[in-house]
Chain A
Amino acid sequence: MSATMTPQGTNHGANPGVSGPAKDKAVAAALGRSRKRADIIVRSLSYAATAIGLVFLASILVTLFYKGFGAMNLSVFTEVTRPPGSQGGLLNAIVGSAIQVALATIIGTPIGMLVGTYLAEYARGSSFGNAVRFVSDILLSAPSILIGLFVYQLLVLPFGGFSGWAGVAALSIIIIPIVVRTTEDMLALIPNTLREAVIGLGAPKWKMIVTVCWRAATSGIITGVLLGIARIAGETAPLLFTSLGNNAWSTNLNGPMPSLPITIYSYAGSPFQDWIELAWAGALLITLAVLLLNILARSVLRSRT
């Protein structure tokens, strides 16, 4: 790498006519050129890679807007799913998804917050705590289809049928580790002096956690919950085995329940043009909702930090 050449080194040069300092300079210049060239090549590749990533995102969004807006009209929101050929909508799927996602969030958030609190406030360094943290991180990235199969074995087979509750259970298992991660991370950011001050005033530990630590971590926890909602709103695979889907209007959580991702899945794979168009409209709705939730989550976090 070094441009300083030993006398022996200069003797092996390609140009025997030049020697001494002039030769050294030529070698150094050549070396500098090749290092610069390598740098420029890698930089350009890096720009290209970033451009590729952004082009993919743009392509997905443009496709969705182009196909989705073309299929969007009022009946998407006012009509339930109908057989091909008759003007149908996605109302039952939208409502079914909203119910299942809302219930899963209500069930999953407190559990996730308690686990995150346990990890941050009680488990520092304990081996049980490390095991819980490890398992929660595995669940965070575990294939969601397996969570669907698990709930199928646990809640569908024994009770003899697909149900909205099984879908809710699967979605809450998926949201728990997301809330755990953000809760623990946010609680870890709170300075210990704050905790010492509360304990020093004579407050019990639970009061310190609930009234001070949770309050200080509120924006972070809300971010985690919003990201979690965004994640489970688009989950399809676990619902295949749990709430199954339903082409009729249904808010009965004890029976098969419609949901937007499942409807998109079955309609997109169908041979009927009007169903495929409805699938695009649903895809646009779900993507907009998910991306807006993500942007909202980021702005909640940023407004506080």
Chain B
Amino acid sequence: MQQAVTMTPGAVPKPARRSSNLGDTLFSAACHAAGGFVLLLLGGIIIELFIGGLPAFRAFGLPFIWSTEWDPVQEVFGAGVSIYGTIVTAVLAILLAVPVAFGVAFYLTELAPPWLRRPVGTAVELLAAVPSIIYGMWGFFLIAPIMAQHVQPAVIDSVGELPFIGALFQGPPFGTGIFTAALILAIMILPFIAATMRDVFEQVPPVYKESAYGLGCTTWEVMKGVVLPYTRISVAGGIMLGLGRALGETMAVTFVIGNANRISSSLFGPGNTIASVVALEFGESEMGSLKLSALLALGFILFVLSFAVLALSRWLLRSRLKA
């Protein structure tokens, strides 16, 4: 404003200047507000789930987390079984998925002929695009019968007879259950882990690999001695990302886990997870009931679990994200 008095020759035309300043201010404010909105969303999710779960936390206290009772008639609720089921299925899924994902990433970065890399990579990524409910139907109508008729009877008769680990593979072959749920989860998280591994493997400077090949290393020795040590932190981050996805997966698990509120010693036994309990029991809980509050409290626990795992994953992958 003061500059208007000093009549500098060739001064910028004032009106145009002012309107563009206004445009800049508005646009910048809109962008900042949108950024703040994302923070508010996450904060809102945490707070709303906690407030919703508060009556259940008040009624049962800290033992809610490990209590294994779930009795809607007596209005006694505990999260123990579903937390157990959530963690067991997710960890088992990781154990099944990681070796296969590594194999896929190894193939895509080192073994596949160049013309085959993109189609195979795309096919594996399409596996990630298939909606969760489709995995549920496929698992329920195709995989569960195969498990019940062929896989589980064979395993129960062979491995189930062994001492100690045999107990994990006993009981009637229902087809559905903890193990089938973990298997479906493993297939669902496979593309996420494989894609992360492929991306970080590709970031290894070619000079390192070429030097190792020049020393006479085989492809596997280059992977084991050069690529994996170089990328191990990011690989761990990719695995954590898969774990985070497996923890909160709902529809596919609901179809195949058997939905029983008990911790069975056998992996073939039925169980439930936090997400499957919330999805199934929600329809039968009235607004404002203690049961609904218990479900929201379960949601809060799931949020804390997956937030921790996903945050760890981001932190491990930070070097990759910067690149």
Contact = CB atoms under 8 A, between A and B. Distances in A.
Interface of A: 35-36, 38-39, 42-43, 45-50, 52-54, 56-57, 59-60, 63-64, 67, 111, 114-115, 117-119, 121-123, 128-129, 131-132, 134-139, 141-147, 149-150, 153-154, 157, 173, 176-177, 180, 203-207, 209-210, 230-231, 233-237, 240-241, 261, 264-265, 268-269, 279-280, 283, 286-287, 290-291, 294-295, 298
Contacts of A173: 41
Interface in B94-137: 99-104, 106-108, 111-112, 120, 122-127, 129-137
Interface centre among A177, A206, A233, A290 (most CB of B within 10 A): A206
B17 to A, nearest CB: 9
Interface centre among A47, A131, A204, A280 (most CB of B within 10 A): A204
A207 B241 contact: no
Given A46-B106, A153-B296, A290-B129, A132 B35 contact: yes
A63 B127 contact: no
A290 B128 CA distance: 11
A141 B34 contact: no
Interface centre among A46, A117, A206, A209 (most CB of B within 10 A): A46
Q: How would you classify the secondary structure of chain B's contact residues: helix, strand, loop or mixed?
A: helix
A283 B137 contact: yes
B161 interface: no
Nearest to B246: A143
Contact of A43 (B133, B219, B245, B278): B219
B38 A180 contact: yes
Given A35-B218, A42-B223, A261-B251, 13 more contacts: A53-B194, A64-B134, A122-B31, A134-B311, A137-B314, A139-B41, A139-B42, A149-B49, A153-B51, A204-B20, A206-B23, A237-B132, A268-B136
13 contacts: A46-B111, A53-B104, A53-B194, A63-B138, A136-B38, A138-B311, A141-B241, A141-B244, A149-B48, A235-B131, A237-B250, A237-B279, A283-B133
B306 A49 contact: no
A62 to B, nearest CB: 10
Contacts of B223: 42
Given A35-B218, A50-B103, A264-B133, A122 B250 contact: no
Interface centre among A43, A154, A279 (most CB of B within 10 A): A43
**Nearest 5 pairs of A and B residues by beta carbon:** A143-B248, A49-B103, A234-B131, A206-B27, A114-B34
Contact of A240 (B129, B190, B282): B282
A39 B187 CA distance: 26
A39 B299 CA distance: 46
Contacts of A146: 45, 49, 248, 299, 302-303, 306
A272 to B, nearest CB: 15
B221 to A, nearest CB: 7
B5 interface: no
B213 interface: no
A291 B255 CA distance: 22
B293 to A, nearest CB: 11
Contact of A207 (B20, B28, B251, B311): B20
A118 B32 contact: yes
B202 to A, nearest CB: 16
Interface centre among A45, A50, A139 (most CB of B within 10 A): A50
Given A46-B106, A291-B126, A154 B299 contact: no
B211 interface: no
Nearest to A206: B27
Nearest to A266: B283
A111 B37 contact: yes
Nearest to B30: A114
